[in-house]
């Protein structure tokens, strides 16, 4: 359900690099049903930031490094990417004028880049707390 809604909202704004939405975004959304995410749509492509629970297989275990983009990364590096992307889009020098969506696991909200940054930072903070305090893991993952 999430992908069909995402497609309906994002597709009209997307002119180039449709593979971003129609292949890559579709694969990750269908692989992780119900997982919250931020989605940015420009005329020339999309970017999706998944926000899975702290105990998800999405993140490597503490101390592990996995292949990531053009190198290797630990879970903290991958988590920082969520906020880095939101910071990139909020930066006025990048002149982002596209669509920003937040999928909370049930529904979509159209938001602006500042709200997306706030959501990304709150998510990062919840995950870090869960990783540092295993007793709070269940609360952070709820």
C-alpha to C-alpha distance for 103 and 114, rounded to whole angstroms: 16
Report pLDDT for 65.
95
Report pLDDT for 139.
54
Report pLDDT for 133.
85
Cβ atoms within 10 Å, residue 127: 24
E strands, the chain, are 37-42, 45-50, 66-68, 71-73, 99-103, 108-111
* pLDDT tens, N- to C-terminus, the chain (142 residues): 689 999 999 999 999 999 999 999 999 999 999 999 999 999 999 999 999 999 999 999 999 999 988 899 999 999 999 999 999 999 989 888 899 999 999 999 999 999 999 999 999 999 999 999 876 555 555 5
Report pLDDT for 142.
53
**Domain limits at 13?**
2-140
Report how many domains make up the chain.
Answer: 1
């Amino acid at each position: 359900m999430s992908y069909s809604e995402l497609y309906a909202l994002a597709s009209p704004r997307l002119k180039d690099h449709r593979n971003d939405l129609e292949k890559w975004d579709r694969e990750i959304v269908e692989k992780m049903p119900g997982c919250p995410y931020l989605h940015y749509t420009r005329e020339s492509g999309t970017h999706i930031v998944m926000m899975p629970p702290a105990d998800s297989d999405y993140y490597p275990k503490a101390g592990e490094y996995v292949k990531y983009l053009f190198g290797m990364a630990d879970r903290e590096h991958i988590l920082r990417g969520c906020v880095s992307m939101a910071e990139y889009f909020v930066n006025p020098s990048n002149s982002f004028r596209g669509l920003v969506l937040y999928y909370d696991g049930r529904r979509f909200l159209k938001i602006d880049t500042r709200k997306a940054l706030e959501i990304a930072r709150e998510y990062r903070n919840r995950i870090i707390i869960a990783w540092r305090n295993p007793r709070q893991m269940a609360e952070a993952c709820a």
